[in-house]
Structure 1
């Protein structure tokens, strides 16, 4: 601790020379070529699908003119559209010793070609490749990245040692180390304040909109931002044990979980593929013995079965409907990062909201100005706003904005200084004005001021006391007000039979005031990010599928832990946007209920499509064995059902 009293080294003077940069608009052929190649690779699957379709149409057009050329074009159509899927199917067969739908579709197409139905096989390849490309596009958008969160982690710390101060990597810190955190710097480790006073912005951890004052003995978190004063901090947790590191770990852990629906689909795909291949092989071997069919008849019926049993219609039952719903939502400012999230949203039973920046605007506003008799309110507001004009504190900005909104012209303040842990003081027109927290003042309050103070604090508002010289003359109350559409958004969710919850890092009393005003069912305050994750997990156990809505870095773990995470797009942090599954691009909370209703519609249509597709497949299979279904009719029936389920899914494009 003796090192704390040593004089800090003087900052070195740095001279920066300016160099004129020559700007040129000359094209770079190498760079343009590389950019074109990267764009093509990015959309490779879609280009392959479209190329396969174009070759299929060209081969069909050339059939009468030149059958040989037509066959060659069909072969190219098979290769262009089916190469990637065939490779995936072969890799699954070799590495996992399992069959999948990719290999089944290629086999069905080759079987059709083997008996002369090139166009039908090419159509199967084209539709399957196109649906695969669209599915890959949706999956790419669902990739989550926490690079923005990791970039907020402090890398170095100023450690105080016997020989002086030394800049070290945060990984070298151990409990007991003494650190100096200068104004405006990130706090490098969890610890306890040992010296100094300052306000600390903890929005990255707790989501609180108003910086908290820190003094000796107070705890402090890594990743928070120090305010106007220097702080001496004793490290209590190593870097890997800090709360900020735990946030990152929680996000990574939640993102690594595979949804149950996805596991079921993958398992069903393998079973279905093996079943169809097994039945086809059995038909080829046993039909001549059991039914007395000729080899030509056996092969023909087996290929018809392979074609009509192919899951093309089943695959198209899901993605076109999901993509149409996603497109519908995007037009209204709701961005889904994948079809799986849309499906999960349809099962929503609880929606949990963050408070600051989600249900509220994210910045404090002056709600009440109470002054003693004999002191004009406008004059008091002018003096206080003039004194606060040079401060960057959120509460100071709120007071200045209030004065400006009422057309009050500010005066010049002199000798303005911060009073650490309390507030500020300044001289305005020869009078000393002070504004700060009611706690810790030695000036007596009148009964009217005391009554107003209790009332305002019970309403969950942040209250500052105004002193003129050494006389308490008034109170100014501020609160982070709810968004205009918050009440309607909550009401819409309740009409859909969905419970609502608010999870906030603010004090319980403040959180309850906001929650009650918005109409939220349950309110939980004083929560850290770890607590929010615990509540989300508990709500999932009680109610099933839960949606979490948030906007800040501190909401990222809860967003990732929820069934579906929804982030505020306009005001949300980069990390929240990356972690979330759904983004409200215009921060319109009323779109949450609309998105859930849209998801429920999509689920209903998907069920309808799958029932229809399975029914058609069973009907065609029965027709093949009972009446001897012709292959062209089998392809028309199967592809016709595919077109119908696609068109049914496209209905979701409408409002």
Structure 2
């Protein structure tokens, strides 16, 4: 964006499909001073880039003339009273509470400098992005018009001569608003809108004397629009509902004082008290207490997870049976739910290749339909002498049949529902193109550390030599108690779990490249590599055991006490419990799996053998990217999964880059998709979701085109008329939308059981 270009955002209500967005886009682009336009149907937002001096009054007036509600985001948030959330403006121009009357509730918006809006409901607002479906303008219009039609028929039953005029008057109740929108859309750049086709067909039917059919056609159209609005609102609320899971207040501990504060005011480092039955107000780590936590709202898993000191917990989850003290690790705008909402809204603005093709096709298709309808209406009477009324009537029916609404919405409805369903399980994808490509990949290349493994070594073997295991653990822990090395943390964790004492050490010294030494109870101790230990003690008796452990990809630390070997401690970064099941499922689906790691060959081969995955080891970041390019040169579509800085080049090179949640920020920023909860099972789940969505899209396109083809033939043959024609359009639109909404109930690949999907 240039220095002379500014950005303004608006909340738009009443948008239900891509056709609505296209009309707004065309209208706004024609306003002087507007440089760039972005419309999101799912987010209900309009973002424009404009030059200095631009006035938004003309923009809002134009959008309202199209029949949509629009309000700018005010500069100061509505605090919702003294007890309401405290929202800070970090953008310079804040984005905050507004009211769209009948079309939207008051919603607060919070930004940080780099991210898009986070939508959070104000304390007194109803759930969702608008009023209850029966209170919307479209419902009131459909019901009001239905009552007018019934009244007209009632008048006709009492006074038959007045039925036709009464129906015309009733028709005006529904058709005039539609016609006004058609004229405005044509004036602002969209001449072939559904409203225009509907207006032409209804007026033409009245001229031909088919007043009753015209009235029913308009009623079916309004009912169809109402149902579209209900379905679109359900898709929108499926993600917005996540925001309401986070409680408005939290119990903040400061010393011995516990006070109730706004959850939005919490900052990293704060400690909050979470009672049984409470929802967690922020992402954090348990600093005290133990309990089971229901994470179904975030992970989709029905079984509560046990949480103890050091375990990670998420905002919006429910504490079950114990008191927890949680140290906050993320502010409100950065918590798990905030990231889900932000990424999904961003993703739903990015179109898939199929969606872009359908939109381009519809821009040519609609004028062709108008031309075909004109030919049907004119050629038979002029060329063959057939009756004008019959063929004009058929031409009007073809206008309605040919409306592209169902076809245009077939892809974005499924994409939006798929992105929402995935997000509720922690599967975040940056747009429809990513979702579509995931189903087409045939190679999945995964990083080892932090992706296939937990990223933290664990003690796997402890062999005591001439000492008890408890003694060996105590001496090793004493040597490592001041170290922050991952191997030291593993040994200290073992001591904690074994309840072994950790005595103070005298003269602790790091031996570079070898280990650590010190004195305990007058005895000299050393813990480190076999290479370092062999200078202090004879390892001949332990050599075979050390080689065996090394062959299993384990790191072996040798404990030397008083000049003799006291024990062997083997450690390894263990595979995630779900890794084997996930890789097996990928192979069953016909995908090649590959592990790319910078670790040594022996460790990589041992882990690869355990998991049944091909291993490539001792790779630098550029080597990983090179391997991805080589696979692509062979015609393969590659998904790369990783979590570290060294994975960023390969993530950017791959057809789809997937970052594991909790990894390096650069990996998350580079990737096209993310597993928010760092489960390996999320990878086959993403691919399964993609294939399910693409199957749904094919079904939708078949429904849309199939119904049109059937009714086109029957209309030309004279079997069906105007009201079946509108059913071909409105009915297909409703069927397509309802079919897409089925994706909201998607729960993951059924071949992966719940145990394999647990959060580790």
1:118 matched to which residue of 2? 218
1:108 matched to which residue of 2? 197
Instruction: Give RMSD over aligned pairs.
Output: 4.4
3-state SS of paired residue (1:457): helix
Instruction: Determine the C-alpha separation between the residues in 1 that align with 2:518 and 2:171.
Output: 89
Distance 1:592 1:516, change over 3 A: same
| 1:395 positional shift | 1.1
Distance 1:356 1:593, change over 3 A: same
1:423 matched to which residue of 2? 515
Q: Please show how residues 192-591 of structure 1 align to structure 2 within 5 Å.
A: 260-283=353-376, 286=379, 288-292=381-385, 297=390, 299-326=392-419, 329=422, 334-335=427-428, 338-371=431-464, 373-439=465-531, 442-443=535-536, 445-468=538-561, 471=564, 473-520=566-613, 522-542=614-634, 544-569=636-661, 571-577=662-668, 579-591=670-682
Q: Please show how residues 78-117 of structure 1 align to structure 2 within 5 Å.
A: 86=185, 103-115=192-204, 116=214, 117=217
CA contact (8 A) 2:553 2:604 kept: yes
| 1:388 positional shift | 0.7
Instruction: Determine the C-alpha separation between the residues in 1 that align with 2:366 and 2:647.
Output: 42
| 1:607 positional shift | 2.3
Instruction: Determine the C-alpha separation between the residues in 2 that align with 1:604 and 1:105.
Output: 27
3-state SS of paired residue (1:629): coil
Instruction: Determine the C-alpha separation between the residues in 1 that align with 2:495 and 2:384.
Output: 94
3-state SS of paired residue (2:502): coil
3-state SS of paired residue (1:481): strand
| CA-to-aligned-CA distance 1:516-549 (integer Å, 9 cap, x gap) | 21111x2122233333333233334436333333
CA contact (8 A) 1:366 1:477 kept: yes
- More displaced stretch, 291-300 vs 399-408: 291-300
| CA-to-aligned-CA distance 1:444-469 (integer Å, 9 cap, x gap) | 64213333333333322223333335
Instruction: Determine the C-alpha separation between the residues in 2 that align with 1:416 and 1:297.
Output: 101
Distance 1:598 1:259, change over 3 A: closer
| 1:617 positional shift | 0.9
3-state SS of paired residue (1:361): strand
Instruction: Determine the C-alpha separation between the residues in 1 that align with 2:450 and 2:85.
Output: 44
2:687 matched to which residue of 1? 596
| 1:416 positional shift | 2.3
Instruction: Determine the C-alpha separation between the residues in 1 that align with 2:540 and 2:183.
Output: 84
Distance 1:275 1:384, change over 3 A: same
| 1:336 positional shift | 5.0
| 1:328 positional shift | 5.2
CA contact (8 A) 1:438 1:463 kept: yes
- Which of the numbers 78, 81, 98 marks the counterpart of 1:36? 98
| CA-to-aligned-CA distance 1:589-639 (integer Å, 9 cap, x gap) | 334434434443443343233223322211211222221631112112333
CA contact (8 A) 1:109 1:125 kept: no
Instruction: Determine the C-alpha separation between the residues in 2 that align with 1:457 and 1:294.
Output: 92
Distance 1:33 1:376, change over 3 A: closer
3-state SS of paired residue (1:549): strand
2:720 matched to which residue of 1? 629
Instruction: Determine the C-alpha separation between the residues in 2 that align with 1:647 and 1:263.
Output: 22
Q: Please show how residues 100-179 of structure 1 align to structure 2 within 5 Å.
A: 103-115=192-204, 116=214, 117-122=217-222
Instruction: Determine the C-alpha separation between the residues in 2 that align with 1:619 and 1:83.
Output: 30
CA contact (8 A) 2:462 2:567 kept: yes
1:184 matched to which residue of 2? none
Instruction: Determine the C-alpha separation between the residues in 1 that align with 2:178 and 2:108.
Output: 19
2:143 matched to which residue of 1? 57
- More displaced stretch, 425-434 vs 268-277: 268-277
Whichever structure has more helix as a proportion of its residues is 1
- More displaced stretch, 310-319 vs 29-38: 29-38
1:192 matched to which residue of 2? none
How many aligned positions are there?
504
| 1:481 positional shift | 0.2
CA contact (8 A) 2:221 2:730 kept: no
Instruction: Determine the C-alpha separation between the residues in 1 that align with 2:202 and 2:509.
Output: 86
Distance 1:451 1:27, change over 3 A: closer
- Which of the numbers 704, 708, 730 marks the counterpart of 1:617? 708
Distance 1:287 1:326, change over 3 A: same
Instruction: Determine the C-alpha separation between the residues in 1 that align with 2:352 and 2:408.
Output: 19
1:205 matched to which residue of 2? none
Unaligned runs of 5+ in 1: 1-23, 94-98, 141-255
| CA-to-aligned-CA distance 1:106-127 (integer Å, 9 cap, x gap) | 4323334433543344456556
- More displaced stretch, 47-56 vs 374-383: 47-56
Unaligned runs of 5+ in 2: 1-80, 89-93, 100-105, 110-116, 120-127, 153-165, 205-213, 241-348, 748-760
Output the TM-score relative to the length of structure 1.
0.65
Higher relative contact order (CA 8 A, sep 6+): 1
2:732 matched to which residue of 1? 641
Distance 1:649 1:258, change over 3 A: closer
| 1:367 positional shift | 1.8
| CA-to-aligned-CA distance 1:451-503 (integer Å, 9 cap, x gap) | 33333333222233333355554443211000112112222222222221112
3-state SS of paired residue (2:98): helix
Q: Please show how residues 9-24 of structure 1 align to structure 2 within 5 Å.
A: none
CA contact (8 A) 1:55 1:76 kept: no
| CA-to-aligned-CA distance 1:256-278 (integer Å, 9 cap, x gap) | 99865455344433332343244
3-state SS of paired residue (2:604): helix
